[in-house]
Structures are given as structure tokens and as C-alpha cells.
Amino acid sequence: MTEQPPQALPIGLIAGGGQFPLLFAEAARARGRRVVAIAHVNETAIEIEDRADAVYWVKLGQLGKIIKHFKREGVGETVFAGTITKTRIFHDILPDLKGLSLWSKIDRRLDDAILRAVAASMEEEGIRVLASTCYLEHLFFPKGLLSRKKPSAEQMEDIRFGWKVAREVGRLDIGQCVVVRDRSVLAVEAIEGTDAAIRRGGELAGSGAVVVKLKKPNQDFRFDLPATGPRTIDTLAAVKGAVLAVEAGQSLLFDRTAMVEAADRAGLVVVGLVEDEQGELQY
């Protein structure tokens, strides 16, 4: 029997919220892959029903059910795509026996620790976890100035300051975003997510908040990449913020045109930066 080419094999999609899972499903099907989606109740958009070839709805923590569905469909590799409201682990989790067993073994209930444990469990079952950006490399945040407005010298100082703080916060696996002004830390993203951190920090700043978002030093590209889009800009504009600075090539950008247009209307700076060998930021 001729071996089936990889592109013809089904691919799994463990879908959270937002448009990322929808975009992945479209891109994978365009490459000839049959997409088997695991959708999460109260998280995944109902539109996934139209984008994937097969959809199974589960509740957060039902790892055994996910593996069972994938094996039935012949899925040997999968991706994680989309957001899960992290506070749900306190009040809206319904683990099955496999999920409960895994949860009891995780001693650090942090983003990467949880996701890596889930991925390891799936790979033990013969289901390989791929980078979430496969088929979607074009969504990486670009280097350079995206908005019409450029960062001032003072804002660049805040960006450099925030960059160092965000890197250390990421090293501790707490979050990927900080809000600063005048070299003071106003908010650090934790379990509440980026938008909530921006609102909290922006309200403290009054105006002129600088948001810095970058990947964690040991970021696993299979899941939880930093992401921004028009909603990020709307949140920053609502608190009269000034700058969104993102690590280029290491995070995702959704709806670029709409995001840049919204930033220009609000007079915000949006910039993608990289760190050179000397540790200097360039855009």
C-alpha cells in the first residue's frame, strides 16, 4: 500500500476562542488537510462548525475525550490555537479522569507548565503537537513602524524599560505584557490577560501609557504566542494610551489593516521591534 502523503492526513485543532482557530482551519484545508476540531464550550466561536471538517465540543479539562475523538478520526498530529479564559480554571473546569489525573501531577499551575503537560500527555498517546503557526507564518508581527506616528525619545526610553521588565516577567512564566509610563511599572499581565492589564495600567497612567508585549524567553511555539489586533488598539485608545510596542517575528498580528487604521485614528504609535546582538532595540 502506498504511504499516504502528510498533507492528505487529517490534522487536529484544539480550538480556544478568537479568530486564530478559524484562520488555522481555513489555511489547513487550503493545503489539503482534513481538519478535526476540538471546540471548547463557552470559548470557541460557533463559526468553527463551518470551517472544520469535523467538530467535537468539550468542556475545559476533558483531555481523555479529546484523545478519544482524535484517535477515532485517525489524527496523528494537532495544533493548539486560540485563547482560553484563564480564570475559568477556578470555576468552569470539568475534567474527566485523564484530565484530573494530569492536573494533580502539575505542581506549577502556570501557562507553559499546564500546556506542556497536556502536550506531553497527547504525545504519549501518539498525537504529535505542532507549532501553532504552521500554515500561518504570514501572521507574524512585522518589524518596523506600522502607524503614521513615530515614538518620541521619551517613549523609546519607556519601551526599553518595559522590554526588560516584560522579559523578566516572561521568564517567570507570569505573562507577556507590561504597561509602563515614565519608567514606572503600572501593570503586569497575569491570569487576567492583556486587555485587562492595559485597562488597569492605562487607568493608573491617566494618559500616555506605553504597552510592551513580547514572547517569553523560553517560549514554546506550539502554544500561547503573544497576539495583538484591533481589540488591543481599542482597549489602549479607551484609556488614552500612547504606544503599543511588540516583539517582531515572535508574536501574531490579526487584522493588520484594521488595526493600523484604528491606531492612526486614535493617534497611537504601533511598532514592531527586535533586539540586536548588543541588546539594542531596532525597528
Q: What is the pLDDT of residues 157-195, one digit of tens each?
A: 999 999 999 999 999 888 899 999 999 999 999 888 899
Per-residue buried b or exposed e for 151-160, using 16+ beta carbons within 10 Å of the residue's own CB: beeebbebbb
Indicate the range of 3-12, 41-50, 96-105 predicted with least confidence.
96-105
Q: How far apart, in Å, are the Cα atoms of 72 and each of 4, 69, 197, 214, 272?
A: 18, 5, 41, 38, 43
pLDDT in tens, 140-156: 999 999 999 999 999 99
> Pairing relation of β-strands 184-188 and 144-145?
unpaired
pLDDT in tens, 81-119: 988 776 555 555 666 666 566 655 565 555 566 777 888
Q: Out of 59-68, 142-151, 239-248, pick the least confident.
A: 59-68
Query: Residue 1: pLDDT above 90?
Result: no
Residue 33: φ, ψ to 5°: -90, 140
CATH number, domain 140-282: 3.40.140.80
Name the residue ranges covered by the structural domains of the chain. 6-129, 140-282
Class of domain 6-129: alpha beta
Mean pLDDT, all residues of the chain: 89
Q: What secondary structure letter does DSSP report for 102?
A: H
